A = this chain, B = another copy of it.
Amino acid sequence: MDYTISNRMSALRGSAIREIFKYAADPAVISLAGGNPNPELFPNEALSDIAAEILREQPVTALQYGITEGYMPLRQAIRERLARVENIGTENDDLIVVSGGQQGIELATKCLVNEGDTVIVELPSFIGATNAFRSYGAHLVGVPVQNDGMDLDALERALAENNNVRFIYTIPTFQNPMGVTMSIEKRKKLYEIAKKNGVLILEDNPYGELTFNGVKTPTIKSMDTDGIVMYSGSFSKILAPGLRLGFMCAPRPIIQKMVIAKQVSDVHTPMLPQLLATEYMKRYDLDALILKMRENYAHKCKTMLDAMEQYFPSDVIYTRPGGGLFIWCDLGHGLDTFALSKKAIEQKVVYVPGNTFMVDMDQPTSTLRLNYSTMSDEKIVEGIRRLGVVFGEALK
């Protein structure tokens, strides 16, 4: 029997990160690879109470089919939160609840990108997004990320050199995988460049709330007077990822088409996670929970950076994030961090090699991503110590 896979999917490989999870499942392994939130911060007692009550008292809402756009009170709560916290939302915008931020990105791509159309991405960028673009045959063009965000000269060249650019994909705040944040000046300029070129922006902001010092850089969407920004948000990093809850706020014609795409994708997002998030926001203080996360991740990030200072060879370069979940390292010296990851695994430490986040994943790189949100302080320090040995050997 002929199991020939479609053109759009035939070349797509699974995410290396999720492959690495196989090693990470071994409790003896120190995983600095994933992007999992600290499970100690899940408000599970509150969610337990809410779930029990909802299933008993609103069984039809919780268990019957719902509408594709999302549970109305949740959409309303998200709209209010976006307006209050991010200054987002105009009368030309609409909002759809999706099954995690990933789904918003996938549906937007399905609705906007023909095979061969160009999507501009940051270099490096989030593999979940780049793989979603690849899965619809998009032509990916990478624009390097600097310490203050995208290289906008490179972006203008990319726009000049490529036809049918449908959108620019960016994670401007606490970028995955680099941990850096785009400056306000660059955000304004990026917006103007996109507008001038008639190109949409897909702003992905799953980490924006996780600012260590409480300072927040304005979202690009908050500047969107022309209806050119699609904003992707998520509850994964501020409540719990296993709920698979996200949302997209974008110009109405795009959301309307995404609703149809979602209808054929999974009809609607499961009701119970939607009800849990709605009631949690109503009855508890989500901002207070986020504050705890900020403090926890700030501490863990500092723990990792201090250990890196102590144990890493002195010429390893790395970012110093102001929030989010990731630190980006460059070992330099033409090292191949993918090859080196096998040596790290021998020492029972895993990280994500930088090539994973590139447009050309076959090209070796000397970069890698480290996560500090999942492991205990002790394991962070021990993991970095072991990596220091591996990297020291390699750099000898």
Contacts and interface: CB of A to CB of B under 8 A. Distances in A.
A8 B110 contact: yes
Contacts of A226: 1
B261 A9 contact: yes
Contacts of A7: 114
Interface in A254-276: 254, 257, 259-261, 263-273, 276
Interface in A14-40: 14-15, 18, 21, 34, 36-37, 39
Contacts of A100: 266-267
Looking at chain A's contact residues, the main secondary structure is helix
A15 B264 CA distance: 9
A270 B99 contact: yes
A193 interface: no
A361 interface: no
A3 B51 contact: no
A6 B111 contact: yes
A236 B270 CA distance: 11
A272 B2 CA distance: 36
Nearest to A59: B44
Contact of A49 (B52, B99, B228): B52
Contacts of A2: 198
A64 B135 contact: no
Contacts of A115: 115
Contacts of A284: none
Interface residues of A, number: 89
A356 interface: no
B99 A99 contact: yes
Nearest to A130: B264
A27 to B, nearest CB: 13
A276 B62 CA distance: 13
Interface stretch (A65-73, A286-294, A335-343, A387-395): A65-73
Interface stretch (A83-91, A181-189, A239-247, A302-310): A239-247
Interface of A: 1-9, 12-15, 18, 21, 34, 36-37, 39, 42, 44-45, 47-49, 51-56, 59-68, 98-100, 102-103, 106, 110-115, 128, 131-132, 135-136, 195, 198, 200, 226-228, 236, 240-244, 251, 253-254, 257, 259-261, 263-273, 276
